[in-house]
Amino acid sequence: MREDGKIDYVEFPAGDLGPLKQFYSDAFGWAFTDYGPTYAAVNEGLDGGFDGDAASHSKAPLVILYAHDLEAMEDKVRAAGGQVIKPIYSFPGGRRFHFTDPSGNELAVWSEG
């Protein structure tokens, strides 16, 4: 069961998804679910995915937290001193926002629907 404020997903930056998917499949037996030409999700322990859209975020892995009420969680992040750097937006499977913590780490929070 998903819980508010818990790590729920890790998204890795990627270039060409073909060789990357082949590597993880060959090395670790991972299977993928494609969501368009630039995104492939994995469910191998902690859920995650590879984002081949270089413009979408930095080159560091993106830790994604979950929230049942995305707007309320965004308010909590702001109140705690986080800076929202990408306001709530929709994507296939849900909605999310990105923020930086006081040390400058970028994270995201997502919600279904």
For 28, the domain range is 8-56
Co-location of 73 and 51 in the same domain? no
Co-location of 66 and 111 in the same domain? yes
| More confident of the two residues 99 and 87 | 87
Q: Is 69 inside a domain boundary?
A: yes
Co-location of 37 and 70 in the same domain? no
Co-location of 48 and 87 in the same domain? no
Q: What are phi and psi of 108, to 5 degrees?
A: -135, 160
Co-location of 66 and 112 in the same domain? yes
Q: Is 90 inside a domain boundary?
A: yes
Transcribe 4-68 into DSSP letters. Answer: TTSEEEEEEE-S-HHHHHHHHHHHH---EEE-STTEEEEEESEEEEEE--TTSS-SS-EEEEE-S
CATH number at residue 66: 3.10.180.10
Mean pLDDT of all residues in 47-52:
84
Q: pLDDT tens for residues 50-97?
A: 888 877 656 788 889 899 999 999 999 999 888 999 999 999 889 999
The radius of gyration of the chain from alpha carbons, rounded to an integer in Å, stands at: 14
Nearest to 50 by CA among 61, 58, 6: 61
pLDDT, residue 33, reads 94
pLDDT, residue 8, reads 87
Give the global pTM: 0.73
Q: Is 84 inside a domain boundary?
A: yes
Q: How many domains are contained in the chain?
A: 2
Helix (H, G, I), strand (E, B) or coil at 80: coil
* pLDDT of 101 strictly over 70: yes
Co-location of 92 and 77 in the same domain? yes
Co-location of 94 and 75 in the same domain? yes
